[in-house]
Each structure stands twice: as structure tokens, then as C-alpha cells.
Amino acid sequence: METDGNHQINLSDKPMLPEAPAISPDGQRIAFLTHDPAKYSDQIVVIPSGGGVPVKIANAPGFCAFQWTPAGDAVAYVRRKQLAIVRRNSTGDAVLIRPAR
């Protein structure tokens, strides 16, 4: 597409869901989300930035968000789940120290 929005082309025949696509750090690949009705599942699709056949398709059921890893060699995503917080409860004796009079 040109800067004025003319000459748009489809990069893939897979329909992209409304979530924003993610461009790899080197600019060579684009990851986007699509839905496969046959599997009742969302999928992350990776295509070359110039368009063409997907180089990777991964099922991502129940995902929340995805992004490229800093090295650009993988797409990481978070699945919907409860947040667990683990903490240790420690107790001890209280000691009051006063200055000598």
C-alpha cells in the first residue's frame, strides 16, 4: 500500500481478527490472529511481510495477547487463566529498643 492508502493488496487469504498484527523485530514476518471454525479455535498465523503462504500456524485457544520475542525467533502469547500470587507469611517477636536514659 502506498502512503496515501492507494494500491492496497491482501497479504494473506486468511481473515484477520480485529486484534492488531505484530511485526517481527527484523521486519521480515507478520503474526496475526485468525479463527478456524472447523476447529473452533483461534490461531496465530505467521506470514512473510511481503505476503504469501503462511510459514507457521499455531493453535492458540483462550489467548489474551501475543507478541514477538525480543530475538524475533518466536511468538509468545498469554493464555486466559487465574492469576496466582504466592507469598510467604512470616511471623516473629517484636522487640522495642529505647535509648538509654
pLDDT at 26: 94
pLDDT, one tens digit per residue, over 72-86 is 888 888 776 755 455
14: nearest Cα among 61, 78, 68, 38: 38
pLDDT at 33: 86
The average confidence (pLDDT) of the chain is 77
| DSSP of 13-82 | SSPPPSSPPEE-TTSSEEEEEEEETTTTEEEEEEEETT--S-SEEEE-TTEEEEEE-TTSS-EEEEE---
pLDDT, one tens digit per residue, over 5-41 is 787 767 666 767 667 788 999 999 988 888 877 777 7
The pTM of the full predicted model, rounded to 2 decimals, is 0.65
pLDDT at 28: 93
- HSE at residue 16, side-chain half, CA atoms within 13 A, is 15
